[in-house]
Amino acid sequence: MCELLGMSANVPTDICFSFTGLMQRGGRTGPHRDGWGIAFYEGKGVREFRDPDPSCDSEIARLVQNYPIKSRIVISHIRQANAGRVCLENTHPFMRELWGRYWTFAHNGQLPGIRSKTLEHYVPVGTTDSEHAFCWLLDQIRERFPKPPKRQTTLWRFIHQCCEQLRELGVYNMLLSDSRSLICYCSTKLYWVTRRAPFTTAKLKDADVTIDFRQETSLQDIVSVIATEPLTHDEEWQRIKTGELQVFKRGQPC
């Protein structure tokens, strides 16, 4: 299956270190050779890169690895195709507009019964079960809330209910954002770690790269990283429970 990577931070932060580990799993240390993508929020805007080639061999991935794009919310994905051919329109993350905001979405898993969920407003461009699930989810949100609810917790509870319905169809691990928060749902496997002062060093599992966060951060920085599998050897990653929705805002779990 695919792998997910997300980041939530209280200040604009680059994801070069974590992305360096993830891109190795896209065909070198892992089997996820069927495309990759990453989305960086900048305010309400999104800077997005996608490529149907393996991330370990992608020149675009090397650009992202070496160019420190600063963002408070990032969603990334490496694909091992199981539904839909290998092509650009089938690479994650997917993006749609709702309430004047860009929503981005990435999924890990298989949903063989997803086409039983009818669509009203949003239509997939590609042929993946993942994009169909995203379109259905936004349809449900749009129907339930024609305007944004006053409390974000109300929205999160409703999204959780929708995710539970999708999990009944198969494996549904998800990252979702509307630029305000990073919403994570776990069906089988999803981990997170929060980095804050006092900072230490960390070493990637998939590349011979070590970073000293003390040299890269200020004392006020708070950054949470979410991944399908822990990316580092020497940090204490927390596992999200099956059926749990975990939301991050400004680097911290809510």
- Under a CB-based contact definition with an 8 Å cutoff, are residues 61 and 27 in contact? no
Among 171, 166, 213, 178, smallest CA distance to 75 is for: 178
Residues 6+ apart with CB under 8 A from 110: 1, 82, 83, 129, 170, 171
Catalytic entry in 2, 162, 163, 184: 2
Bridge partners (DSSP) listed for residue 97: 102
Written as six digits, the tokens of 60 are 């675009």
Written as six digits, the tokens of 192 are 């997170």
CA 58/CA 36 separation, integer angstroms: 9
Collapsing DSSP states into helix, strand and coil, what is residue 204? strand
2 is catalytic: yes
Query: What residues act catalytically?
Result: 2
